[in-house]
């Protein structure tokens, strides 16, 4: 079933270089004619064919033999949308716009709707719409939130080109209020969009360190954030701007999330370009369904059996330790948008996001300092979807994931942080569409995780 293709091109002021990098029409045609087609392995021998199809800092890895990945075919029209979600999206046509703050509002009333399900903006025309950028971003959020509330035990790795410097295991919980299927909607008297908890379980010096975020749908109400450090034995409030800082001293921030997890209204967004890019994908996602089972308390657990995902996990790998060796590349049409933080204490002065035009999954998140210098690129994976039958017979659609890859590369210091890897263990939580106790995300009891 087809998604929601859009057309249009507008070059944002101050983004001429970025648009030039991703202006690939002639380059793409030449690349395919010269052999850069599905089945080809992109490596240092043919990396020149990907000029204009990858961010320059990523292309450099292929030129220098740091990365090597097979190209697969992912044509438009094969993405498996949930029919219920598609119908809800179609019903939004002409219903919403965004306020001056960037919040979704009803055209008829000028008010924020109490709940949104489906893509809020089925058609986006950047050439005619000055608010196109933030509409694209909202579509990204609503397709992601629809995957459901989650619980994951993940490995966080601090990586240099030749290996791993440090590892930590994080117990991570997200509860989403907006964008949920009818069966998973929660009472929401505080008008949350989401709540988040992350707890360090290892190594010993980090054990019990916890962070909590409450994000509100109110555009004028900034995130509430708390941290618990066992050595201090108290919960303390922290500034929302701290979400841009490196998490536990890494090169990945809380605002990275699965791709971008900042509050949209905290930025000023502009449209840069429509482009094509080679993007990182899970090739197994297009071949078969992963092992998945329904949990006794409700929700789905996906079981990953092959944990060799990146270079440092792969024997005899000669490239950089954070290379996505198990992944593939697929050529996709993307929107390129940029955001400038309204808070001058935010670590980055500009963020560029590359978002799939059909699926609205993120591809590349490039961050620049306030002086315009490029400092960090977040590289994430994309998936096909599959359908699953619950014990009660209801059909649900989810990402068909066999592994995860999130890599925040510090391009200045030649190092990276990897997240989303699954640690070894039996029956490791890798759960979606789960439910949590009513007080689970209570700031007053955050210290319980440190005991």
Identify whether the C-beta of residue 441 lies closer than 8 Å to the C-beta of residue 197: yes
Digit-by-digit pLDDT tens for the chain (451 residues) are 333 333 222 223 233 334 333 444 444 555 555 578 999 999 999 999 999 999 999 999 999 999 999 999 999 999 999 999 999 999 999 999 999 999 999 999 999 999 999 999 999 999 999 999 999 999 999 999 999 999 999 999 999 999 999 999 999 999 999 999 999 999 999 999 999 999 999 999 999 999 999 999 999 999 999 999 888 888 999 988 889 998 988 999 999 999 999 999 999 999 999 999 999 999 999 999 999 999 999 999 999 998 899 999 999 999 999 999 999 999 999 999 999 999 999 999 999 999 999 999 999 999 999 999 999 999 999 999 999 999 999 999 999 999 999 999 999 999 999 999 999 999 999 999 999 998 899 987 788 876 6
- Going by C-alpha positions, the residue among 399, 402, 425, 252 that lies closest to residue 326 is 402
**222-231 long-range contacts, CB within 8 A, separation 24+:** 222/263, 222/266, 223/263, 224/443, 226/443, 226/446, 228/446, 228/447, 228/449, 228/450, 230/450
- Has residue 448 been placed in a domain? no
Neighbours of 395 (CB within 10 A): 11
- For residue 303, give the 3-state DSSP assignment: strand
With vertex at residue 204, the alpha carbon angle to CA 202 and CA 207, rounded to the nearest 5 degrees, is 60
- Has residue 186 been placed in a domain? yes
The span from the CA of 225 to the CA of 451, in Å, is 20
The structural domain count of the chain equals 1
- Has residue 450 been placed in a domain? no
Q: How far is CA 62 from CA 55, 58, 115, in A?
A: 11, 7, 44
- Has residue 449 been placed in a domain? no
Q: Of all residues in the chain, what percent carry a pLDDT higher than 70?
A: 92
Q: And the tokens for 54?
A: 């990858």
- Has residue 90 been placed in a domain? yes
Q: How far is CA 362 from CA 157, 310, 378, 406, in A?
A: 21, 20, 10, 11
- Has residue 446 been placed in a domain? no
Q: What is the domain-level CATH number for residue 128?
A: 2.50.20.10
The span from the CA of 381 to the CA of 19, in Å, is 22
Spell out the residues 6+ positions from residue 116 whose beta carbon is closer than 8 angstroms to its own: 92, 96, 104, 142, 178, 179
Identify whether the C-beta of residue 362 lies closer than 8 Å to the C-beta of residue 259: yes
**Domain span holding position 389:** 1-441
pLDDT at 271: 99
Identify whether the C-beta of residue 72 lies closer than 8 Å to the C-beta of residue 53: no
Q: Of all residues in the chain, what percent carry a pLDDT higher than 90?
A: 85
Q: And the tokens for 155?
A: 């490995």
pLDDT at 307: 86
- pTM for the predicted model, two decimal places: 0.92
Spell out the residues 6+ positions from residue 241 whose beta carbon is closer than 8 angstroms to its own: 343, 345, 346, 347
pLDDT at 29: 53
Neighbours of 412 (CB within 10 A): 12
Q: And the tokens for 110?
A: 């000028």
pLDDT at 69: 99
Residue appearing with tokens 């052999």:
35
Dihedrals φ, ψ of 225, to 5°? -135, 140
Identify whether the C-beta of residue 379 lies closer than 8 Å to the C-beta of residue 364: yes
For the CA atoms of 34, 40, 45, 50, the dihedral, rounded to the nearest 10 degrees, stands at 60
Q: Using one digit for the tens of pLDDT, what is the confidence trace for 161-171?
A: 999 999 999 99
CA-based end-to-end distance of the chain:
49
Q: Using one digit for the tens of pLDDT, what is the confidence trace for 314-350?
A: 999 999 999 999 999 999 999 999 999 999 999 999 9
């Amino acid at each position: 079933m087809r998604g929601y293709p859009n057309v249009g091109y507008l070059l944002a002021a101050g983004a001429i270089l970025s648009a030039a990098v991703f202006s690939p029409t002639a380059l793409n045609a030449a690349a395919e004619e010269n052999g850069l087609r599905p089945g080809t392995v992109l490596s240092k021998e043919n990396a020149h064919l990907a000029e204009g199809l990858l961010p320059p800092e990523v292309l450099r890895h292929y030129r220098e033999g740091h990365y090597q990945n097979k190209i697969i075919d992912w044509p438009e029209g094969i993405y498996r949308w949930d029919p219920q979600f598609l119908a809800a999206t179609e019903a939004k046509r002409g219903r919403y716009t965004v306020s001056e703050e960037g919040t979704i509002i009803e055209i008829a009333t000028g008010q924020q709707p109490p709940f949104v399900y489906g893509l809020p903006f089925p058609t986006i025309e950047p050439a005619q719409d000055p608010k196109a950028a933030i509409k694209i971003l909202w579509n990204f959020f609503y397709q992601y939130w629809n995957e459901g509330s989650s619980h994951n035990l993940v490995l966080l790795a601090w990586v240099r080109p030749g290996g791993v410097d440090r590892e930590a295991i994080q117990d991570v919980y997200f509860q989403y209020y907006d964008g949920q299927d009818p069966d998973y909607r929660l009472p929401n008297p505080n008008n949350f969009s989401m709540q988040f908890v992350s707890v360090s379980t290892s190594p010993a010096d980090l054990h019990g360190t916890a962070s909590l975020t409450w994000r509100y749908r109110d555009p004028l109400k900034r995130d509430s954030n708390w941290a618990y450090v066992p050595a201090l034995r108290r919960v303390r409030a922290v500034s929302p701007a701290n979400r841009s800082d490196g998490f536990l001293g890494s090169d990945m921030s809380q605002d990275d999330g699965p791709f971008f997890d900042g509050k949209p209204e905290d930025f000023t967004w502009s449209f840069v370009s429509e482009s094509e890019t080679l993007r990182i994908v899970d090739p197994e996602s297009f071949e078969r369904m992963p092992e998945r089972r329904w949990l006794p308390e409700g929700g789905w657990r996906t079981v990953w059996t092959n944990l060799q995902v990146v270079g440092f996990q792969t024997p005899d790998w000669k490239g950089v330790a954070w290379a996505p060796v198990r992944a593939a590349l697929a050529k996709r049409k993307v929107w390129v948008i940029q955001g400038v933080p309204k808070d001058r204490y935010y670590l980055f002065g500009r963020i560029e996001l590359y978002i799939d035009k059909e699926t609205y999954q993120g591809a590349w998140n490039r961050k620049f300092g306030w002086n315009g210098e490029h400092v960090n690129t977040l590289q994430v994976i994309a998936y096909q979807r599959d359908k699953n039958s619950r014990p009660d017979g209801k059909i649900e659609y989810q990402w068909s994931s066999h592994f995860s890859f999130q890599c925040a590369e510090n391009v200045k210091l030649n190092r990276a942080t990897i997240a989303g890897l699954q640690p070894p263990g039996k029956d490791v939580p890798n759960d979606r569409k789960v439910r949590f106790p009513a007080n689970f995300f209570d700031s007053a009891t955050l210290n319980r995780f440190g005991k």
